[in-house]
Amino acid sequence: MSAASLPLAGQHVVLGVSGGIAAYKAVELLRRLMDLGAEVTPVLTASALEFVGAPTFRALSGRDPLTDLFRADEPIPHTRLGQGADLILVAPATANLLAKFAAGIADDALTTTLVATSAPVVLAAAMHTEMWLHPAVTANVATIRSRGFRVIDPERGRLAGGDIGYGRLAEPEVVIEAVLEELGTTRKPLLGRYVLVTAGGTREAIDPVRYIGNRSSGKQGIAVAQEAARLGATGALVTTVATPAIQGFEVVAVESALEMRDAVMGRLEQVDALVMCAAVADFRPAEVADQKIKRDSGIPEVKLVANPDILSEATGALRRSRPEAVVVGFAAETVDALRHGEEKLARKGVDIMVVNDVTEVGAGFGSDTNSVWLIARDGARSRIELAAKREVAAALLEKAFALEGEPRGQTRAN
Ligand SMILES: Cc1cc2nc3c(=O)[nH]c(=O)nc-3n(C[C@H](O)[C@H](O)[C@H](O)COP(=O)(O)O)c2cc1C
């Protein structure tokens, strides 16, 4: 097999090693990743260095392992590594490392790189049985998985100290298979496509300090942009909430519906998919006071006027200029969600309506998970049951781009 045709050719994998007895097994994983054609940069924690030596990783990878944030050859090593990685594999992942990753702690080279990436992360846990079964570890693993990252359970077998039980690092074949699977899903099917996403609730100013807002956290929209980027798309995320940088995406900060409309309408030219997750206020104050309204000037009357319907406006414009572009709308409902979603799909003329009942536990505003119905323009419905918002994003992008080539106006016979 030529180097270019190896399964991981051109892929950059960061191999994180934390301080467990299984750290020596990371050497074998490094070798296998390289044999499959990956470029690998090892990142070792201080505890890992108690078990294994950096020179082994340097010699095998041909790269200087990162072991210390502040004594690296370059100024900001973690962001370069995090942004440039196609995948981060942590093996072994200690109880400590899992806890830090679940909490977003970034206090050494490995944990900081993990927080500075939007690449997929695979963590192969290894620890004593008591540690693996501790409720704190169980909760941390659940948190990590709910965010769309993959944790490989340890296997049963002989552990350090002669004990037998769950805790052994999974066999190299299992770990490598997980890496291949993750990168398989990240092979870039959206390369060359432009995805425009909106996120967050708009804020409609009453005066310089007060606004009318809503409960949308923006998490689902951000997840769509991150997932689209992972699949190779470029695009823009028009957002009312602060967002970390997303590779290949322009992040456009807006506040009000009017600002959001301008940002969206000005970027339709190259759109292949428009995903309108933002919760846009239907109304805004007719006038914005230029000074803070004082309590002693009496109870104000705030007259409202209608905001533009950005979804309908953008859909109409796209149908004229780029008829092949796909439009995805969102409907957050509190009652009779499916019926309202179907009505909204027809009224707005979009291709897919993502409907969620925001009163369901674990769905909707602020949560890291969502339960939704996807309704396609041909009437086909599919349900996604309580999944990470990243998984919902993946499903809706897959559905959107599958509809791309199909003629509109067909009705499914079912
Ligand atoms: C001999 C020895 C073996 C250890 N093995 C493990 C292990 O397999 N899994 C684990 O979670 N912690 C293990 N620990 C504890 C970790 O080294 C310790 O929690 C450390 O703080 C982990 O740091 P790190 O996550 O930054 O690498 C071991 C400690 C010692 C002394």
Strand partners, 93: 125
Ligand 1 site, residue 367, Cβ cutoff 6 A: no
Rounded-to-integer distance, Cα 122 and Cα 131, Å: 20
Average pLDDT of the chain is 91
Residue 410 has a pLDDT of: 47
pLDDT 10s digits, 308-318: 999 999 999 99
Q: Are the beta carbons of 403 and 410 closer than 8 angstroms? A: no
The reported pTM is: 0.59
Q: What is the pLDDT of residue 97?
A: 98
- Name the residue with the closest Cα to ligand 1, atom 28: 20
Give the start-to-end residue ranges of the domains of the chain.
Answer: 3-185, 194-403
Q: Over 80: is that where the pLDDT of 365 sits?
A: no
Test site for ligand 1: of 15, 47, 155, 168, most ligand atoms within 8 A of the Cβ? 47
Which residue puts its alpha carbon closest to atom 11 of ligand 1?
94
Can you give the three-state secondary structure of 391-404, one letter per residue? Answer: HHHHHHHHHHHHHC
Cis preceding linkage at 189, omega within 30: no
Q: Is the CB of 96 under 6 A from ligand 1?
A: yes
Which residues are 353's β-sheet partners?
Answer: 329, 375
Would you state the pLDDT for residue 157?
A: 79
Report for 42-56, 373-387, 399-413: range of highest mean pLDDT: 42-56
d(CA 400, CA 327) in angstroms, rounded, equals 8
Residue 72 in this model has a pLDDT that exceeds 90: no
pLDDT of residue 69 exceeding 50: yes
**For residue 245, what are the CA distances in angstroms to 232, 273, 304?**
15, 20, 35
pLDDT reading at 109 higher than 50: yes
Contact of 59 with 30, CB cutoff 8 Å: no
In contact, 317 and 309? CB cutoff 8 Å: no
Fold identical between 3-185 and 194-403? yes
**What's CA 366's distance to the chain center, in Å?**
14
CATH T-level topology, domain 194-403: Rossmann fold (3.40.50)
**Was domain 3-185 assigned CATH 3.40.50.1950?**
yes
According to DSSP, the β-strands at 121-125 and 87-93 are parallel
- pLDDT tens by residue, 78-91: 888 998 999 999 99
